[in-house]
Structure 1
Amino acid sequence: MATQEHVRKQFGEVEENSLRLGKEKSEQIIDALNQDLADTYTLYHQLKKHHWNVEGAEFRDLHLFLGDAAGHAEEAADELAERAQALGGTPISGGAAQEEHATVEYEGQDVYDIRTSLANDLDMYGDIIESLRDHVELAENLGDHATAQILREILVETEEDAHHIEHYLEDDTLVQ
């Protein structure tokens, strides 16, 4: 619980910004960024869960990959949050708020076999990739080329991690 008596800025309030992007445009982009932020943190937590629980003959490789992928998600979340703040908004924070704003669904607390876990990750990646593409277009259409560039860079990394999962899910393996 906050002990400060005066709230400096309420969540959802958008201030003028030094980037000279109008308030109405900033509001739309900040909403998109906060959705991406909530989705990315959902992905991060699911990847960490799988990182902690992976077992079997391919444990080491998958454990390292999932840790790296979670790190990529965490870095992306930081960039999304910082951009929302730069545009005059407040980045979404806290588990309950992130869950409320996320458009992807966390698989839950149960532990599944690694193929099911990775398939669930790949589904979430796909949803996030589609959303990032839509938000790149939104930012471009609103004249915010810098946000579009940030989202493109996040999109490239996200697609790359999804592609790696795709490879892990192929049926050709040395392990029997």
Structure 2
Amino acid sequence: MSTQKNVLREAGTVEENGLRLAEDKAEQVIDALNTDLAATYVLYHQLRKHHWNVEGPEYRDLHLFLGEAAEEAEEAADELAERVQALGGVPIAKMSNLEEHAPVEAEDDDIYDIRTSMSNDMEMYGDIIETVRDHIELAENLGDHASAEMLRQQLLELEEFAHTIEHFLGEDSLKNW
């Protein structure tokens, strides 16, 4: 628990920002970005779980891929949090709040075969991709072209990782040996 006596910025509030985006518009973008931040952290933790637990003949390739995907998710989360802060908001950070705000749900703590794990990852990527597309449109409509551009770049990465998972899930791979 924090020993901070004075709260500097209260969670859920929006302050005036130096980017000159009106507070009412910034509030909507911040809410969307915090949703993306939460989803990205849920994705990150699920990818790490699979990175830790992958086994089998394709271990090395999958272990490296899942590690890279998790690192990319962590970088994306950092960008999202920093953009929320730049817009005058407070990025959500508490684990229970991240889970509550995420539009995706992580699998449980059990360990599954890698095909099931990767299928779960593919499902989560798809859900996040759909949400990010909606948030790009929202940011554009509110005149926040920089947030929309940042989300476009993240969308490209999300789609690339989803496409790679699609290849891993090809009919002739990830067989139970």
Q: TM-score, normalised by structure 1?
A: 0.98
Confirm or deny: 8 A CA contact 2:115 2:174 kept in the other structure.
no
1:150 partnered with 2:150: yes
Inter-partner Cα distance in structure 2 for 1:105 and 1:174: 24
Change (3 A) 1:167 1:44: same
Inter-partner Cα distance in structure 2 for 1:151 and 1:172: 34
Aligned match of 1:118: 118
Aligned match of 1:167: 167
Confirm or deny: 8 A CA contact 2:114 2:174 kept in the other structure.
no
Instruction: Trace 1:14-53 onto structure 2 (pairs within 5 A).
Output: 14-53=14-53
Change (3 A) 1:91 1:174: closer
Aligned match of 2:137: 137
Tell me how far 1:50 sits from its aligned partner. Answer: 0.2
Letter in 2 for 1:129: I
Aligned match of 2:128: 128
Letter in 2 for 1:56: G
Aligned match of 1:102: 102
Change (3 A) 1:53 1:18: same
Letter in 1 for 2:92: I
Tell me how far 1:3 sits from its aligned partner. Answer: 1.4
Tell me how far 1:154 sits from its aligned partner. Answer: 0.4
Provide structure 1 residue ranges, at least 5 long, that are not aligned to the other structure. none
Letter in 2 for 1:14: V
Inter-partner Cα distance in structure 2 for 1:173 and 1:8: 52
Letter in 2 for 1:118: M
Change (3 A) 1:118 1:151: same
Provide Cα deviations, 1:8-61, integer angstroms capped at 9, x if missing partner: 111011000000000000000000000000000000000000000000000000
Inter-partner Cα distance in structure 1 for 2:173 and 2:7: 56
Report the RMSD for the aligned CA atoms in angstroms: 1.1
Inter-partner Cα distance in structure 1 for 2:66 and 2:174: 20
Letter in 1 for 2:119: A
Inter-partner Cα distance in structure 2 for 1:3 and 1:107: 34
Q: Identity over the aligned pairs, expressed in percent?
A: 67
Inter-partner Cα distance in structure 1 for 2:89 and 2:123: 29
Tell me how far 1:2 sits from its aligned partner. Answer: 2.1
Q: TM-score, normalised by structure 2?
A: 0.97
Say which SS state the counterpart of residue 7 (structure 1) adopts: coil
- Count of residue pairs the alignment pairs up: 176
Say which SS state the counterpart of residue 172 (structure 1) adopts: coil
Tell me how far 1:95 sits from its aligned partner. Answer: 1.1
Confirm or deny: 8 A CA contact 2:136 2:151 kept in the other structure.
yes
Inter-partner Cα distance in structure 1 for 2:78 and 2:132: 15
Inter-partner Cα distance in structure 1 for 2:174 and 2:124: 27
Change (3 A) 1:56 1:94: same
